[in-house]
Each structure stands twice: as structure tokens, then as C-alpha cells.
């Protein structure tokens, strides 16, 4: 029996379009909006429900930044520096309220370190995060006896990709990205990163494909 885990990366208010905040009457939306970020919500909820129903381990990740960090800039490049977003404990750091998170999901936070100018930015990957109790993603996957990790969320070209590459190369697990349940910050960086991921050995599938595999008894 293959042991499979589903990870949902950074589906947070801050990465959603401002229109979502206006629709819901809630703060924190539109800090660093990913175009069409809200489109993935129905697919993500299908994946979460199926993963829980078929006994998969499920985890979420969230950016959880300090406000003072070189990750942010007044004139961001949108490739290495960013507008202020998903600051720890803020409304923007909260998960989208319409996500239906299964009972027993393990929540990881990442990007908590104060990034200094010129330092390596490790905040993109959930591999470098931890639960509030201090458990690492590496420890969690080992405890799950994982062999394959499916990923979805935001954004494909940054946090999803870096998490996938770390799980593959540092953890040694097979990684499958549910591509239609992701979106990218920009089309060109999304295409470039998809090529890099494929060359590294990451697989891609659709929502229905993932659910069909899980229904066949893979857990």
C-alpha cells in the first residue's frame, strides 16, 4: 500500500484578489494577489474532502512573516522582493474562510525568520516551516510513512514549486502537483518553473486524476 499525503500550500487571504475581500466583507485580501487565485477554491475543497475520506494525511502551509524583513520592499521586484503580505497573526495570513479543512489536518507556518539583505530566502518552501508546536514537515512526512505527496495551492511558481522541489530532493518522496488547483504569480515564471519541476521529476495531474487514484485504495 502506497502511503500518500495531500498538502495545501498558502491558500491565504493575502494571496487572493481584493474582490474576494469585498465579496466576503473581510479584511486582509489583495496584499499580494495571485490572478484567479479564488478560482481554485472549489477544486481544493474537492481534494481536501477526498483526501480525508480516503484516509490520506493532510497538511496546510501558511506564510507567517515578520513585518520587518528584507522579503518585503517599498518597490518590490515581484521576483525576489514583495509587498508586505501575510504578516504573522494578521488577517492576510489567515486561510481563505471558504476552505473546508478536514479534522486532523496538520498546519505548518513558514517564513517566520527575519530575512536580512543578501541572505538566502528560505521562506517559500513549507519544508522549512513548522507547526506551532515545533514539528517540521520532514518529521510529519516520516510519521505518515509517506511515499507520495500531492500538492495544490498558491503560487505554483514560488511556494508550491519550492515546497515540491524540497520534498523531492531533500526528502526523497515522489511529488505530484494537481496543476489545475494552482495558479502562478505570472504566466512566464509559471511556465519556466513548470519546466524546471518536470525536469526534476515532479509529476502533474488533474483534480479528477488525483481523486481517482485515491479512490483506488491508495492512502
Residue 146, all three cell numbers: 509517506
Domain count, the chain: 1
pLDDT at 219: 43
CATH classification of the domain holding 140: 3.40.50.850
Per-residue pLDDT tens digits for 72-84: 999 999 999 999 9
| C-alpha cell of residue 85 | 503580505
DSSP-assigned states of every residue in 7-19? EEE--BGGGS-HH
Q: What's the burial of 3, exposed, middle or buried (CB within 10 Å: 0-12/13-18/19+)?
A: middle
Work out the angle at residue 195's Cα, subtended by the Cα atoms of residues 210 and 116, and round it to the nearest 5 degrees. Answer: 100
Q: What is the mean pLDDT of residues 57-70?
A: 97
172 with 199: CB under 8 angstroms?
Answer: no
Q: Which residue in 159, 32, 191 sits closest to 167, CA to CA?
A: 159
Please determine, for residue 1, whether its predicted confidence score (pLDDT) is greater than 70.
Answer: no
C-alpha 154/C-alpha 16 separation (Å) is 9
User: Quick one: cell of 138?
Assistant: 520532514
Q: Phi and psi (nearest 5°) for 159?
A: -70, -40
Q: Is the peptide bond before 155 cis (omega within 30 degrees of 0)?
A: yes
Distance CA 206, CA 179 (A): 6
Per DSSP, helices labelled H in 8-159 are 18-24, 41-53, 137-143
Task: Name the 3-class secondary structure at 106.
Answer: strand
Going by C-alpha positions, the residue among 164, 202, 160, 214 that lies closest to residue 182 is: 160
Which are the contacts of 55, defined by CB distance < 8 A and separation ≥ 6? Answer: 219
Q: How many residues does the chain have?
A: 219
Inter-residue contact 10 to 40 (CB < 8 Å):
no
Which range of residues forms the domain containing residue 116? Answer: 4-215
Query: What pLDDT, on a 0 to 100 scale, did the predictor assign at position 217?
Result: 74
Summarize pLDDT for 99-119 with one digit per residue, the tens: 999 999 999 999 999 999 999
* Tens-place pLDDT, residues 147-192: 999 999 999 999 999 999 999 999 999 999 999 999 999 999 999 9
**Which three cell numbers, joined as nine digits, stand for 130?**
513548522
Amino acid at each position: 500500500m502506497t502511503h500518500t499525503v495531500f498538502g495545501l500550500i498558502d491558500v491565504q487571504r493575502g494571496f487572493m484578489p481584493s474582490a474576494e475581500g469585498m465579496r466576503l466583507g473581510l479584511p486582509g485580501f489583495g496584499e499580494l494577489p495571485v490572478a484567479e487565485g479564488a478560482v481554485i477554491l472549489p477544486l481544493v475543497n474537492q481534494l481536501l474532502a477526498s483526501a480525508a475520506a480516503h484516509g490520506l494525511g493532510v497538511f496546510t502551509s501558511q506564510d507567517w512573516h515578520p513585518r520587518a524583513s528584507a522579503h518585503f520592499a517599498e518597490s518590490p521586484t515581484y521576483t525576489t522582493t514583495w509587498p508586505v503580505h501575510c504578516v504573522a497573526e494578521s488577517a492576510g495570513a489567515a486561510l481563505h474562510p471558504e476552505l473546508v479543512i478536514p479534522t486532523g489536518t496538520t498546519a505548518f507556518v513558514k517564513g517566520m525568520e527575519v530575512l536580512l539583505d543578501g541572505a538566502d530566502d528560505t521562506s517559500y518552501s513549507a519544508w522549512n516551516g513548522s507547526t506551532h508546536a515545533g514539528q517540521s514537515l520532514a518529521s510529519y512526512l516520516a510519521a505518515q510513512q509517506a511515499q507520495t505527496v500531492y500538492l495544490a495551492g498558491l503560487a505554483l511558481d514560488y511556494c508550491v514549486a519550492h515546497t515540491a522541489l524540497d520534498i523531492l530532493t531533500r526528502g526523497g518522496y515522489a511529488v505530484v502537483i494537481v496543476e489545475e488547483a494552482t495558479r502562478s504569480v505570472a504566466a512566464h515564471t509559471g511556465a519556466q518553473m513548470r519546466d524546471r519541476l518536470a525536469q526534476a521529476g515532479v509529476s502533474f495531474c488533474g483534480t479528477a486524476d488525483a481523486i481517482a487514484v485515491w479512490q483506488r485504495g491508495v492512502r
